[in-house]
Chain A
Amino acid sequence: MSDLITGETGDWEVVIGLEIHAQVTTKAKLFSGAPTEFGAEPNTQVSLVDAALPGMLPVINKEVVRQAVRTGLGLGAKINLVSVFDRKNYFYPDLPQGYQISQYQQPIVGEGEVEVELEDGSEKSIGIERLHLEQDAGKSVHDLHPAKTYIDLNRSGVALMEIVSKPDMRSAAEAGAYVRKMRSILRYLGTCDGNMQEGSLRCDCNVSVRRPGEELGTRCEIKNVNSIRFVQQAIDYEARRQVEIVEEGGEIAQETRLFDPNRGETRSMRSKEDAHDYRYFPDPDLLPLEIEQSFVDALAADLPELPDAKKMRFVEQYGLAPHDADQIVEDRETAEFYESLAEGRDAKLAANWLLGELFAALNKSDNTLADSPISADGFGRLLDMISDGTISGRIAKDVFVEMFESGRDAEAIVEEKGLRQVSDTGAIEALVDGVLAENPDKIAEYKGGKDKLFGFFIGQVMKKSQGKANPALVNELMRTRLDG
């Protein structure tokens, strides 16, 4: 593929691995009974455990374990029946314990794989190295006081799944597709809401460059990128930066970097430059986490249909093009909307209208399907009116615009505006005859071989009918008159 970066001295390949931090959808935190809601007043969702007061102890939330196992199953990954929580020791004011409880040597989920669809329609398999559970840190607020950093521990102790990919991606676009796919799977499973703006899904990007086929280069880690667009921008910038350095004879320093979305640049994080020595060891406040195979099996049996399976089914059952199916299944709600729309209808027509009109209108109005003023049922009845000939496809587009703006029913709009398609042969014959009578010269030209004028005659009839004439009938009758 043409994903190589062309430098001054030749081509370079970028190698990308991603660590996705996904907030586990739960009511309470990983090791405490404090709530996890987003956007609360500072330090109001902090238990004594989350603030690491002396003598406080962690007790694990069972739902987190369940969700992690379900996620592992959704990624086709190995579930480890024994896993261990370790302490990752470092000092930072938003880390109240002075250590993060994480899983280091024995994570709950091992290797897996996800298929991502690339823009050219091809598919690529990205390896998953592991998934482990860990605590989120609190938030440091740097801009409220000139000389102080303020600390809010609301997020402290929130359960995260860290999903580590293998360094299998070779372009920003692949990375973007991978994050999109991962988010899609998590949302299907209901294990993470995937909301990147609120930080429930964040990305650390490990980026290095090399000559194609050569050894891996030194990597830099870009921390905490919080949108797919930024992931791609950050990787593109970082890859170019590294190519420039290497081509100028420099060396890449292995370091942690931060992406600045305003400037579209990555920069070194000075505060993280300290050589880290996390001194991992098993948390003695917790025991090894042991789960039964039967528990895993029960969760596996209860897993919802995931995007890949759904896509295959849509292609087979509805005859959709793979690319259309991809778009529809990315989001579970969209897929459900589609299925309810396609039920008992022309499935391809349904896909075209969903991906065409409805998505365009939603995009334009900056809305998502959840905010759509048109329900699947209402949308379906519009399609029904096309299929049964009540209105033409052309008129349907106008009706759609009206429905989207007003939220009214298709039937009501069609009735009120008198948009029913005219399929009365006599009425259409009258229109056809009228048009022919008005254009004797054109008839002559047509008979003289100017076939293209056929379209002109049809257009005139449609115009006279204000678009309501059944185009197939018009066509048929015109053909009889002119060629018959």
Chain B
Amino acid sequence: MSLDKATVQNIAHLARIRVEDERLDAMVGELNAILGWVEQLSEVDTDGVPPLASVTGHGLPMRADEVTEGDLSEKVLANAPDPAGQFYSVPKVID
């Protein structure tokens, strides 16, 4: 499995990272080197082996259905790069 430029561009878009054309070749090479290296896992016989679900060995803890937070708007908006009153804002999205 070897990545080509188009695939790398597509991954970059899925990850929302702009990759300039002049960096693309290098990136294709780097990613292919890493993927080629991890390819050695195919040597391992994993027939009948379940994927590891967790290393903790305990069950999923649960919270009681209680409201534990008041109005935190000041805290959650404190670091917003372009807040508009009580809102976050982003460039216009067209549905």
A and B touch in their complex, CB below 8 angstroms: yes
Residues of A within 8 A of B (CB): 26-28, 32-35, 41-48, 50-51, 53, 59-65, 84, 91, 93, 140-142, 144-153, 258, 269-271, 277, 279, 282, 286-290
- Mostly, the B contact residues are loop
Q: A148-B89, A151-B87 are in contact. Are A44 and B73 (CB under 8 A)?
A: yes
Task: Please state if B60 and A150 are interface contacts (CB–CB under 8 Å).
Answer: no
- A123 and B90 CA atoms in complex are apart in Å by 49
Contact of A153 among B76, B93, B94 (CB under 8 A): B76
The verdict on B44 contacting chain A, using a C-beta distance below 8 Å, is no
Chain B residues, CB < 8 A from A282: 53
Taken residue by residue from 5 to 40, chain B's Cβ proximity to chain A (1 for < 8 Å, 0 otherwise) reads as 000000000101000000000000000000000000
- A27 and B66 CA atoms in complex are apart in Å by 6
Task: Please state if B14 and A145 are interface contacts (CB–CB under 8 Å).
Answer: no
Contact of A35 among B14, B67, B90 (CB under 8 A): B67
The verdict on B47 contacting chain A, using a C-beta distance below 8 Å, is no
A-B contact pairs, 25 of them (CB 8 A): A26-B65, A34-B67, A34-B69, A35-B69, A44-B72, A44-B86, A47-B72, A47-B76, A53-B79, A59-B62, A60-B60, A62-B64, A62-B65, A63-B65, A91-B16, A93-B90, A145-B84, A149-B90, A149-B92, A150-B84, A152-B87, A153-B76, A270-B95, A287-B56, A288-B54
Contact of A148 among B14, B56, B73, B84 (CB under 8 A): B84
Task: Please state if B53 and A288 are interface contacts (CB–CB under 8 Å).
Answer: yes
Question: Quick one: closest B residue to A54, CB to CB?
Answer: B79
- A93 and B83 CA atoms in complex are apart in Å by 13
- A153 and B68 CA atoms in complex are apart in Å by 17
Q: Which of A34, A48, A60 has the most CB of B within 10 A?
A: A34
Contact of A59 among B56, B63, B87 (CB under 8 A): B63
Question: Quick one: closest B residue to A93, CB to CB?
Answer: B90
17 additional contacts (CB under 8 A) given A26-B65, A27-B67: A28-B67, A51-B76, A53-B79, A59-B63, A60-B63, A61-B62, A63-B65, A65-B62, A93-B88, A142-B92, A144-B84, A147-B92, A149-B91, A149-B93, A150-B84, A150-B88, A153-B88
- A64 and B67 CA atoms in complex are apart in Å by 14
Chain A residues, CB < 8 A from B64: 61-63
The verdict on B71 contacting chain A, using a C-beta distance below 8 Å, is yes
- A147 and B93 CA atoms in complex are apart in Å by 9
Question: Quick one: closest B residue to A62, CB to CB?
Answer: B62
Chain B residues, CB < 8 A from A62: 62-65
Q: Which of A62, A279, A287 has the most CB of B within 10 A?
A: A287
Contact of A61 among B56, B63, B71, B84 (CB under 8 A): B63
Q: Which of B14, B53, B59, B65 has the most CB of A within 10 A?
A: B65
Question: Quick one: closest A residue to B86, CB to CB?
Answer: A42
Chain A residues, CB < 8 A from B87: 42-43, 141, 144, 150-152
Task: Please state if B95 and A258 are interface contacts (CB–CB under 8 Å).
Answer: yes
The verdict on B81 contacting chain A, using a C-beta distance below 8 Å, is no
Chain B residues, CB < 8 A from A145: 84, 89, 92
Task: Please state if B65 and A59 are interface contacts (CB–CB under 8 Å).
Answer: no
Question: Quick one: closest B residue to A30, CB to CB?
Answer: B63
Q: A34-B69, A149-B92 are in contact. Are A277 and B62 (CB under 8 A)?
A: no
- A253 and B68 CA atoms in complex are apart in Å by 46
Q: A34-B69, A43-B77, A271-B95 are in contact. Are A150 and B89 (CB under 8 A)?
A: yes
Chain A residues, CB < 8 A from B89: 145, 148-151
Question: Quick one: closest B residue to A84, CB to CB?
Answer: B53
- A61 and B64 CA atoms in complex are apart in Å by 6
The verdict on B48 contacting chain A, using a C-beta distance below 8 Å, is no
Task: Please state if A60 and B86 are interface contacts (CB–CB under 8 Å).
Answer: no
- A63 and B75 CA atoms in complex are apart in Å by 27
Chain B residues, CB < 8 A from A93: 88, 90, 93
Chain B residues, CB < 8 A from A50: 76
Task: Please state if A46 and B76 are interface contacts (CB–CB under 8 Å).
Answer: yes
Q: A44-B73, A48-B76 are in contact. Are A140 and B93 (CB under 8 A)?
A: yes
Contact of A287 among B53, B76, B95 (CB under 8 A): B53
Task: Please state if B54 and A287 are interface contacts (CB–CB under 8 Å).
Answer: yes
- A258 and B95 CA atoms in complex are apart in Å by 9
Question: Quick one: closest B residue to A83, CB to CB?
Answer: B60
- Minimum-distance CB pairs A-B, first 10: A33-B68, A63-B65, A62-B62, A150-B87, A151-B88, A42-B86, A51-B76, A149-B93, A44-B71, A287-B60
Chain B residues, CB < 8 A from A290: 59-60
Task: Please state if A287 and B65 are interface contacts (CB–CB under 8 Å).
Answer: no
